[in-house]
A and B are shown apart, each in its own frame.
Chain A
Amino acid sequence: MSITVQIPTALRRHTEGVSSISCAASNLTELFSVLDEKFPQLKPHLRDDQGQIRRFLNVYVNEEDIRFLGGQTYAFQEGDEVLLVPSIAGGTI
């Protein structure tokens, strides 16, 4: 099984300019382990001091917020497009 992960510009200086990778991670925890291993410089930007995924990092799967799909429990499907979005913008009211 293979999924694609899109890396936004803000993160690419920690991935030597790589903008997307394919991997076989089956869930979010595995995906972050893959990223940690592949791009060690990226790790402190993705996780806080306690090892938790940073509060303002949003993960989308095929344009859906992964939290609506079960978050950590979501099992990636063949061909899933995963998007990392640092700190989503928003309305201001």
Chain B
Amino acid sequence: MSNYELRCRECGRTWGNQPRSICDDCFSPLEIAYDYDALKASVSRERISQRPPNMWRYSELLPLPQGFTPRLPVGFTPLFQAPQLAERLSGTAAGTNLYIKNDAVCLPTLSFKDRVVAVALSQARAFGFDTVSCSSTGNLANAVAAHAAREGLKAWIFIPSDLEPAKILGTNVFGAKVVRIAGNYDQVNRLCSQIADEHRWGFVNVNLRPYYAEGSKTVGFEIAEQLGWRLPDNIVCPMAGGSLITKIKKAFDELIKLGLVEPKEVKFFGAQATGCSPISTAVKTGSSEIEPQKPNTIARSLAIGNPADGHYAIRTIKNSGGWSEDVSDPEVIDAIRLLAETEGIFTETAGGVTVGTAAKLYRQDRILPDETTVLCVTGNGLKTTDVLAGVYQTERPIAPKLTEFEAYLQQTLDVAGVPGVLAAAQQAEGVGA
């Protein structure tokens, strides 16, 4: 007997445990409900902290089949202070309150999607699927393909045809069948809903979606534990389908309910690219409903114009006293570079959206420097290097001679405005003084 089951988010009807994401009565999405009274007896900070550093340390709070044995150490990515970024964003030197949750190094495929897929595939096997599938903007494709390989399942991956080459290659390599669709993500997604209707496959983000989405909670659990079992003041989170932000909220609520952290009102801030901003537009215009958009942004991992959880994301943001902002493509590039140059983290476009949005929120005084703020970086920059094409010039090679280098150095120091040069020059002066 498990401690969880499917429940309709709107009408409350329960559906046991099965591969299903929609309530047949009202078509609303299902989510996992837990028996928290039963969980209280088995969950404690001490028990959790004695377990290996991966997301399975929160097993009781995930919908895992009985007897499930994890085979990959997913999650428990670093959370660290970002003082230099804080200084640039807030304009103050007291920058110990800004943190980065760095899922750019999540195992095994370097994005937070490894978390959700890990949970979905545990159930795929339990439900008897031999083939798993997904519609994806890239990171999910990588994660499903890798986890399926590890679990010995077949994988069929549906992607928009304009996806970044690194994300396609990073799916092919695991032996998955990749189906390119001549359309945008929303069209791929709609097609997958129809395919899931016809084929008995485990679509992680269709019929396994309620299980899959629970994996996102581990980002929230880890943030709280890594802050010393306390909640931050603010979370800044990228939004595509709008699920992650609502699941981090659910994670915090559960920790409070189980007495693992002190109750606290955390403000949730959503980040989108202006070229695909249905959720931030709704928040900024005071609407509680999503008006779908046709995506047009370099942040392809966030390019979902009809977000499945948009309605719930809006509610999470509004009820928390937070806000949502969006940034242009040039701002995304600037933010990717800012994070890399200040904190040594190379994030993909979605991370640029998050950092760029955070910059706006500090400027608007919606986030204050003395508040504990966590930015969720969800993906790795090595997957979207194409967006930086042309930003850096290829240097002219010099001969392997010290005199050549000295001449080069002299010439380079004379050139102002080249990234990194001024800092290098100042450092050189400092060393000589």
Q: A92–B189 contact, CB under 8 A?
A: no
B26 proximal to A (CB < 8 A): yes
Query: Residue B304 contacts which of A54, A86, A91 (CB distance < 8 angstroms)?
Result: A91
Q: B294–A90 contact, CB under 8 A?
A: no
**Given A45-B27, A57-B27, A67-B292: A91 touches B140 (CB 8 Å cut-off):** yes
A91–B132 alpha-carbon span in the complex (Å) = 16
**Which residues, 264 to 314 on B, are CB-close (under 8 Å) to A?**
289, 291-292, 294, 301-302, 304, 306-309, 311
**Which residues of chain B are near A44, meaning CB under 8 Å?**
25
B350 proximal to A (CB < 8 A): yes
Query: Residue A90 contacts which of B112, B187, B304, B378 (CB distance < 8 angstroms)?
Result: B304
A9 proximal to B (CB < 8 A): yes
* Of B51-59, B147-155, B238-246, B418-426, the one touching chain A: B238-246
Q: How large is the interface on A (under 10, 10 to 19, 20 to 34, 35 or more residues)?
A: 20 to 34
B209 proximal to A (CB < 8 A): yes
A45–B8 alpha-carbon span in the complex (Å) = 14
Which of A8, A44, A85, A89 is the most central at the interface, judged by chain B CB atoms within 10 Å of its CB?
A89
**Which residues of chain A are near B136, meaning CB under 8 Å?**
91
Query: Residue A87 contacts which of B137, B197, B308 (CB distance < 8 angstroms)?
Result: B308
Query: Shortest distance in angstroms between B234's beta carbon and chain A's nearest beta carbon?
Result: 18
Query: Shortest distance in angstroms between A39's beta carbon and chain B's nearest beta carbon?
Result: 14
**Given A10-B22, A63-B187: A91 touches B311 (CB 8 Å cut-off):** no
A58–B305 alpha-carbon span in the complex (Å) = 13
Q: A45–B26 contact, CB under 8 A?
A: yes
Q: Which residue of A lies closest to B192 (CB)?
A: A89
A92–B241 alpha-carbon span in the complex (Å) = 5
**Given A67-B292, A92-B243: A54 touches B205 (CB 8 Å cut-off):** no
Query: Residue B238 contacts which of A48, A65, A93 (CB distance < 8 angstroms)?
Result: A93
A13–B307 alpha-carbon span in the complex (Å) = 28
Interface flags, B398-430, vs A, CB<8A=1, else 0: 000000000000000000000000000000000
Q: B28–A55 contact, CB under 8 A?
A: yes
Q: How large is the interface on B (under 10, 10 to 19, 20 to 34, 35 or more residues)?
A: 35 or more
Q: A56–B29 contact, CB under 8 A?
A: yes
**Which residues of chain B are near A48, meaning CB under 8 Å?**
26
A48–B307 alpha-carbon span in the complex (Å) = 21
Query: Residue A92 contacts which of B116, B291, B306, B311 (CB distance < 8 angstroms)?
Result: B116
**Given A63-B187, A67-B291, A68-B294: A89 touches B26 (CB 8 Å cut-off):** no
Query: Residue B193 contacts which of A13, A63, A85 (CB distance < 8 angstroms)?
Result: A85
A63–B188 alpha-carbon span in the complex (Å) = 10
**Which residues of chain A are near B194, meaning CB under 8 Å?**
8, 83, 85
A-B CB pair tally, cutoff 8 Å: 120
Q: A89–B209 contact, CB under 8 A?
A: yes
Query: Shortest distance in angstroms between A75's beta carbon and chain B's nearest beta carbon?
Result: 20
A41–B322 alpha-carbon span in the complex (Å) = 42
**Given A68-B294, A89-B192: A8 touches B21 (CB 8 Å cut-off):** no
Q: A91–B137 contact, CB under 8 A?
A: yes
Q: Which residue of A lies closest to B203 (CB)?
A: A89
Q: Which residue of B lies closest to A46 (CB)?
A: B27
Q: Which residue of B lies closest to A92 (CB)?
A: B243
Query: Shortest distance in angstroms between A74's beta carbon and chain B's nearest beta carbon?
Result: 14
Query: Shortest distance in angstroms between A23's beta carbon and chain B's nearest beta carbon?
Result: 21
A55–B308 alpha-carbon span in the complex (Å) = 11
A56–B243 alpha-carbon span in the complex (Å) = 15
A61–B369 alpha-carbon span in the complex (Å) = 49
Query: Shortest distance in angstroms between A10's beta carbon and chain B's nearest beta carbon?
Result: 6
Q: Which residue of B lies closest to A85 (CB)?
A: B193
B216 proximal to A (CB < 8 A): yes
Which of A54, A63, A86, A91 is the most central at the interface, judged by chain B CB atoms within 10 Å of its CB?
A91
Q: A90–B308 contact, CB under 8 A?
A: yes
A45–B27 alpha-carbon span in the complex (Å) = 7
Query: Shortest distance in angstroms between A64's beta carbon and chain B's nearest beta carbon?
Result: 9
**Which residues, 36 to 61 on A, are CB-close (under 8 Å) to B?**
44-45, 48, 54-58, 60
B383 proximal to A (CB < 8 A): no
Q: A93–B244 contact, CB under 8 A?
A: yes
A-B contacts, 8 of them at CB < 8 A, read A9-B197, A10-B27, A55-B289, A58-B306, A65-B292, A68-B292, A85-B193, A89-B308
B: residues with CB less than 8 A from A are 21-22, 24-29, 112-113, 116, 135-137, 140, 183, 185-187, 189-190, 192-194, 196-197, 203, 205-206, 209, 212-213, 216, 237-244, 247, 289, 291-292, 294, 301-302, 304, 306-309, 311, 350, 378
Closest CB pairs A-B (n = 9): A90-B308, A90-B241, A91-B241, A86-B27, A91-B240, A93-B240, A92-B243, A89-B206, A56-B27
